[in-house]
Structure 1
Amino acid sequence: MTIAVLATVVLYYQLYLSGGVAVDIIADYGLTFKWFVFMNVAALVAAGVAAHLGGVTDRVGRAKVVTIGLVIVGLISAVAIPMCGDRWSFATCFVLLNAAEGVILVATPALVRDFSPQLGRASAMGFWTMGPVLGSLVVTAVVGSGSNAGDWQSHYVVAGICGIVVAALSVPFLKELAPALRDQVMIEARDQALLEARVKGIDTEQGLERPTRQMLKPDIVLSSLAISMFLLFYMTMVGFGPTYFEVTFGYSQAQANNVLVWAWAANVAGLAIAGVASDRLLVRKPFMLVGSVVVLAVLVVFIALAARPETSYGTFAAVFVVMFFAMGTTYVAWMAAFTETVERRNPALTATGLAVWGVIIRIVFAAFVFLAPFVVSTVSTIVDHGATVKAISEGQSPDLTEEQNQVVAAASTDGTAAERVNRLRAEFPQAVETMSSLPPAARAGLGVQSTNLAVRDAAVADIVQATGLSAESASARLDLIGEVPPADLEFLVWFSPLVDPEVAAKLAYVAEHGADVQAAIADGPAQWQRYFWISALGVAFFIPMIWLMTGHWHPGQARKALRDHEAAVGREMAQVIGVDRNVVTNL
């Protein structure tokens, strides 16, 4: 079971890495935010189809699927993705990565179920559900540490190598039950004695007829839909959390990932603590109800904070700790209750039931992600143009010289500078062209050229060196410069580099997109709030669906049901092996 969880961790580390370095991927491939989102939608659809196919693990075995899947995902991450030279090759690899995840998502929890009696089911499922969360935690911790900043491909290489190592470990250590034993509900560890006695007479193939139809029941389908809606905010933070904090609050990539470390750490704690507590009390539903109510209340608080630029890093961290702890409490109880609900229908089809859930959750996530660029339309503008506009406006463009950056930064704040340079260029074309070719020190001395022969000779020499003209032609150019009015000449000493095509293009970029970026920054928080409200509605939908699932509300009722089951086990064992109840009790 430890290997199954470890496999889940490294799988989700590789899967969720795109969210942590999304801005770098978008910039490197020249993507729009909408293109990046639609790539994620395609990947989720592929994962949903693959999750449906994951039901075959009821027949072929879980361990083989997990091991092969880990190798495939590891090679995609460590080898294929770093070699992608364009957006389409990267998108293809990303979709294949998600497809493999869709199958493994079904196989790994099914493995955990196989080796966990219901009495410890919540603890076991809490152990498994730590996998995706720890995968998120690893992503945010590694990216948030600032290691390999700007080199996002190296993150995939490291993640892929980790996946291949775990795949190698799974070959000797990942085990599974024989199909005949696996297809029975294990209420306690001693039930295995009864199961072994039943193996001789059980027809496991009959229980596998029309598996999907058997699982398409209201309690299974609606429960799957409910948890998918409940997890919409979790999915938002996985896919867009770092991007949200970067574009809305101006966090660096490291800060944006670090604030989410608090969320994932609290989530892991909630999964572990609630899993143990649920098993001790023998109930699931109270944990789901209390946890979901807390999540809804704190999510409303977060939505209010999302539009306040003064909200501090510490405030977000505190809100995330409470919300994601409660989210972990709810999710681990749901996972245990869901597998028990599936087993109530047919214990032979656990993987098929999980496959139904896997398909539904991918469809819901795909639809929710698809809405992102339409509900939060400002993100496209900020992600596509914000970083470039900021770099140019602040004089930090890597394509320009230090002097050119200074001029562009000054012109960005003076909206008339480019227009004035163009007017002077039309009136004094050779003078402006000559001045733009000179270094700053040479331009600064042009204003006194007519009265100081030494300075004039030096200016002529500078023009010759910069333009390649003869001394005579350079002197004539200098005379043309002298015809420029003093005020305009002083202006050109500083702004004449704007006539350079590359410099002019940068300034034009700011003129074209700067106002849109500023408007997007102003409007973005309100749009994110609307997107988050969809997540809140998802949590509200989840709450009444709790009553559809199997299980008791009160520990006393659960204990009575367990005693009744123990009695049934004793009677069944006595009938199978021909001994009395006292012998059964001592097994």
Structure 2
Amino acid sequence: MRELDEYPTTGQRMRILSMAVLAVLIASYEGQIAPVVPLLLKDLHITLSTYGAVSAAALVAGAIASAVGGRLTDTVGRVRLIVPLLMLTAVCCFLMTTVHSAGQLLTVRAVLSVVDGMAMAGTAPLVRDFSPRMGRAQAFGFWTWGPVGASFLAATVASLTLPLFDDSWRSQFVIMGAVSLVLSVVIAFNIADLSPELRARILRTEQEAISRADHATPPRVRDLFAQRTIWAHVVAIACWLVLYITLTLYGQTMLADSFHLDAATASQVMSAFWVLNILTLIVAGRVSDRLQLRKPLGTAGTLAAALLTAYLASLIGREDVSHLHIAVTGALLGGAMGCAYGPWMANYSENAEDIDPRLQGTAWGVFTFLTKGVAVVVLVLVPHVVESHGWHGWLFIAVGCMALFLPASLLFRGPWRRPKPTPESSSQSRTTTAETSTAAVHPGPTD
């Protein structure tokens, strides 16, 4: 695996960031099961509660692996972990086709969750390494294309191919494994890592050749969690993720149960959610980078998402709701969540970086641990809440959790509004504007 001793030029940095985003896409795509859950439950003769318990147990193992993987990326390196683990997750997809019981499902999903959790923990710090602060929100917007794009890809592929394979859920894992294996090889030949010395720097713009960091003492994890800012981020995003993970794990199932849609139609509706989510991730990231503001966009997007979720919950049970109405509501919800997510990720990365830039992998390992931990809670609680209060009851719980993000954000570091320019800063802004166009992340041929 290549290790760079000099910070890469724009073209090389764009290529490496493209590979990092592609790695997130693969790791996320291989874990997608939501589009086939209704078919899986029927074929394996298991209840939603049994499925939730099996998936939760698998995710516990994955959550622990994520925390371990995050720490390893700071000591071993990002790429040394990511590439081999991506290959293994592709193999796990093929193993899913051999599942015929709840016990076999638990075994395969647990192995996949462990491997996938460790791989994912290295991708966000890799994006941080190659994204100066002037373009970081946009960079993390592209990073989020991985999990969001994976949900969209899985939903779209399922809606197009399930009818071709007689609604066989195993067909989806064959497709996942084949696609992921090929892309893993592409990543292996095009990705690179920064040397530990370069990872210890804080880059604000691409042109800023900042001095070498002088760290006489080794990085200490306790320094990270001695700050209330980090704990505020941890609590806030754990609450925010309840809705996101609900839609990721149960989106199609919720739509099928609540609005009497078949599996393919439910996936089409979910595709509308993910499409607008993907678009607003980049738009909001660019705006956040241009203004150098994180918190206002994160809180505004979260508030809008909470209101739209409450409206979606109110539609459940109504007979006069069309598929288009559901799709438009879902798309707007996806757009609102996209506005919040990218700026929050940039804010979290910068707040952790200000404490010690050498602990980015550890910080993002905790984030991945939280993601899987919240997924465990969702998997365990959803079947019970839905059974007693319906899907609208669970959605209102998700709204309450998302609302808790707002007071927690008051403890995040960073400005709420742009400072008034001074004559000195005005002269610097012209240079910064030019640098931002280079520093902004463009992992693809278009922006």
TM range (shorter): 0.7 to 0.9
Are 2:19 and 1:3 aligned? Answer: yes
Match of 2:308 in 1: 298
Q: Is the 8 A contact 1:211 1:352 kept in 2?
A: yes
- Residue pairs, 1:419-498, within 5 angstroms: none
Match of 1:528 in 2: 391
Structure 1 residue 11: Cα displacement: 1.7
**Aligned with residue 75 of structure 2, among 43, 49, 59:** 59
Q: In structure 2, do the counterparts of structure 1 residues 207 and 119 end up closer, same or farther at CA, with 3 Å as the change threshold?
A: farther
Q: Is the 8 A contact 1:42 1:95 kept in 2?
A: yes
What amino acid is the match of 1:183? A
**Aligned with residue 55 of structure 2, among 27, 40, 51:** 40
Structure 1 residue 258: Cα displacement: 0.6
Are 2:418 and 1:551 aligned? Answer: no
Match of 1:163 in 2: 180
What amino acid is the match of 1:6? L
Structure 1 residue 228: Cα displacement: 2.2
Structure 1 residue 372: Cα displacement: 1.1
Are 2:155 and 1:140 aligned? Answer: yes
Q: In structure 2, do the counterparts of structure 1 residues 319 and 216 end up closer, same or farther at CA, with 3 Å as the change threshold?
A: farther
Q: In structure 2, do the counterparts of structure 1 residues 309 and 244 end up closer, same or farther at CA, with 3 Å as the change threshold?
A: farther
Match of 1:76 in 2: 92
Are 2:138 and 1:127 aligned? Answer: no
Q: List per-residue Cα deviations over 1:436-458 (Å, max 9, x = no partner).
A: xxxxxxxxxxxxxxxxxxxxxxx
**Aligned with residue 254 of structure 2, among 241, 244, 253:** 244
What amino acid is the match of 1:75? V
Q: List per-residue Cα deviations over 1:299-354 (Å, max 9, x = no partner).
A: 11111112313311111111112111010010011000000010111111001111
**TM-score where L is the length of structure 2:** 0.87
Structure 1 residue 29: Cα displacement: 1.5
Match of 2:101 in 1: 86
Q: Is the 8 A contact 1:215 1:345 kept in 2?
A: no
- Residue pairs, 1:406-425, within 5 angstroms: none
Match of 2:131 in 1: 116
Structure possessing the higher radius of gyration over alpha carbons: 1
Are 2:274 and 1:264 aligned? Answer: yes
Q: List per-residue Cα deviations over 1:482-508 (Å, max 9, x = no partner).
A: xxxxxxxxxxxxxxxxxxxxxxxxxxx
Partner SS state of residue 176, structure 1: strand
**Aligned with residue 283 of structure 1, among 280, 288, 293:** 293
What amino acid is the match of 2:416? W
**Aligned with residue 197 of structure 2, among 180, 187, 190:** 180
- Distance, in Å, in 1 between the alignment partners of 2:172 and 2:312 is 30
Structure 1 residue 167: Cα displacement: 1.6
Partner SS state of residue 300, structure 2: helix
Q: In structure 2, do the counterparts of structure 1 residues 563 and 175 end up closer, same or farther at CA, with 3 Å as the change threshold?
A: farther
**Aligned with residue 64 of structure 2, among 49, 57, 76:** 49
**Aligned with residue 363 of structure 2, among 353, 358, 377:** 353
- Distance, in Å, in 1 between the alignment partners of 2:223 and 2:72 is 14
Structure 1 residue 70: Cα displacement: 0.5
Q: In structure 2, do the counterparts of structure 1 residues 234 and 91 end up closer, same or farther at CA, with 3 Å as the change threshold?
A: same
Q: Is the 8 A contact 1:221 1:357 kept in 2?
A: no
Structure 1 residue 555: Cα displacement: 2.0
Match of 1:13 in 2: 29
Structure 1 residue 216: Cα displacement: 5.2
- Distance, in Å, in 2 between the alignment partners of 1:92 and 1:291 is 38
Match of 1:507 in 2: none
**Aligned with residue 351 of structure 2, among 341, 358, 368:** 341
**TM-score where L is the length of structure 1:** 0.67
Structure 1 residue 139: Cα displacement: 0.8
Structure 1 residue 203: Cα displacement: 4.0
Which residues of structure 1 form unaligned runs of 5+? 379-525, 568-587
- Distance, in Å, in 1 between the alignment partners of 2:85 and 2:330 is 32
Q: Is the 8 A contact 1:133 1:268 kept in 2?
A: yes
What amino acid is the match of 1:168? V
Q: In structure 2, do the counterparts of structure 1 residues 94 and 335 end up closer, same or farther at CA, with 3 Å as the change threshold?
A: same
Quote the RMSD (CA, aligned, Å).
2.0
Q: Is the 8 A contact 1:207 1:348 kept in 2?
A: no
What amino acid is the match of 1:62? R
- Distance, in Å, in 2 between the alignment partners of 1:156 and 1:216 is 43
Q: List per-residue Cα deviations over 1:105-139 (Å, max 9, x = no partner).
A: 22101100000000111111111011100000001
Partner SS state of residue 61, structure 1: coil
Match of 1:207 in 2: 218
Q: Is the 8 A contact 2:273 2:327 kept in 1?
A: yes
What amino acid is the match of 1:293? L
Q: In structure 2, do the counterparts of structure 1 residues 15 and 212 end up closer, same or farther at CA, with 3 Å as the change threshold?
A: farther
Greater percentage in helix: 1
Q: List per-residue Cα deviations over 1:1-29 (Å, max 9, x = no partner).
A: 1011011112211212x111011111222
Match of 1:194 in 2: 210
Structure 1 residue 291: Cα displacement: 0.8
Q: List per-residue Cα deviations over 1:275-302 (Å, max 9, x = no partner).
A: 1111111111110121111111111111
Q: Is the 8 A contact 2:245 2:378 kept in 1?
A: no
Structure 1 residue 73: Cα displacement: 0.3
Structure 1 residue 240: Cα displacement: 1.1
Partner SS state of residue 97, structure 2: helix
Q: List per-residue Cα deviations over 1:478-531 (Å, max 9, x = no partner).
A: xxxxxxxxxxxxxxxxxxxxxxxxxxxxxxxxxxxxxxxxxxxxxxxx521111
Q: How many residues align?
A: 408
Q: Is the 8 A contact 1:62 1:111 kept in 2?
A: yes
**Aligned with residue 95 of structure 1, among 110, 134, 143:** 110
